[in-house]
Amino acid sequence: MIDLNSDLGEGFGIWRLGDDDALLDVVTSANVACGFHAGDPSTMRRVCERAAARGVAVGAQVSYRDLAGFGRRFIDVDPRELADEVLYQIGALEACARAAGTSVTYVKPHGALYNATVHHDAQAAAVVAGVRAFGDLPVLGLPGSRLLHHAARAGLRPVREAFADRAYTPEGTLVPRREPGAVLGDADAVLARVLRLAERGELVAADGSVIEVDVDSVCVHGDTPGAVEHARVIRAALASAGVDVARFVPGPTRLAE
């Protein structure tokens, strides 16, 4: 079994990014922007409503406070402040989710915060502290990251994630977006990546080396060219290969009426 997740709700005001509705027909988990790197209250509530209607799990995609940089710039924020900002973002999305008849069921950092928590011990611990202050929610992150280490120590479920459309270093980290080839645009390459992950537990790094990795969820970015088609092809191919595509979070999405 494998979960498919995608970053959704990343518009802001009159601006739209990606096709949330089309991706919600394919993915099993939705990482919803909480207003710090993208998203606004109306967008958050709308995505939660449409996710609930489709039985898609809602996750809080928490970020640095960086609308101008789309959360892709490292910020040396005080850990206590970062923990509070993570808590704030989860709470904001939970309000929208409850109004939509669902709830926040996991947390995933976005962009630069996601990459920082791979090695930055203080920020990884701060993110987990913010999640723990809210409740007992699973945390998505890179296998072997400090984020998942601290999540496990705090009694939260660590969910190992891989990316269908991002290049990897030989060390198993993401190639920085500023480098050529960091984002995979070829549909065949993306499909081959996911099938190899599901069937062999392997990733091929940018230098051709093979990385062994066990994952629980695969991310298809909603803002990359061809994202919807990539997601559809991936889901169909996984089904054909006998892989059950399902949410990693058990239980009903919609709350009892």
| Cα-only R_g, the chain | 17
What distance in Å separates the CA atoms of residue 134 and residue 137, rounded to the nearest whole number? 8
| Percentage of residues in the chain having pLDDT higher than 90 | 70
Classified as helix, coil or strand, 82 is helix
pLDDT at 233 over 90: no
What distance in Å separates the CA atoms of residue 94 and residue 239, rounded to the nearest whole number? 32
- Residue 100's pLDDT is 97
Which of the listed ranges 13-22, 27-36, 206-215 does the model predict with the highest average pLDDT? Answer: 27-36
- List, in sequence order, every beta strand (DSSP E) within the chain: 3-8, 29-33, 57-62, 104-109, 139-141, 158-163, 202-204, 210-212, 217-219
pLDDT at 111 over 90: yes
What distance in Å separates the CA atoms of residue 234 and residue 188, rounded to the nearest whole number? 10
> Average pLDDT for residues 204-230, to the nearest whole number?
86
- Going from the C-alpha of 75 to that of each of 79, 111, 114, 128, the distances in angstroms are 11, 11, 12, 17
pTM value is 0.93
Q: What is the largest CA-CA distance in the chain?
A: 52
**Which amino acid is residue 245, in one-letter code?**
V
| Percentage of residues in the chain having pLDDT higher than 70 | 96
Place of tokens 């960091």: 182
Classified as helix, coil or strand, 174 is strand
Q: How many angstroms separate the first and last alpha carbons of the chain?
A: 30
Query: Do 251 and 35 form a contact (C-beta atoms < 8 A)?
Result: no
pLDDT at 252 over 60: no
> Average pLDDT for residues 213-236, to the nearest whole number?
84
Beta 210-212 vs 202-204: how paired, if at all?
antiparallel
- Residue 18's pLDDT is 79
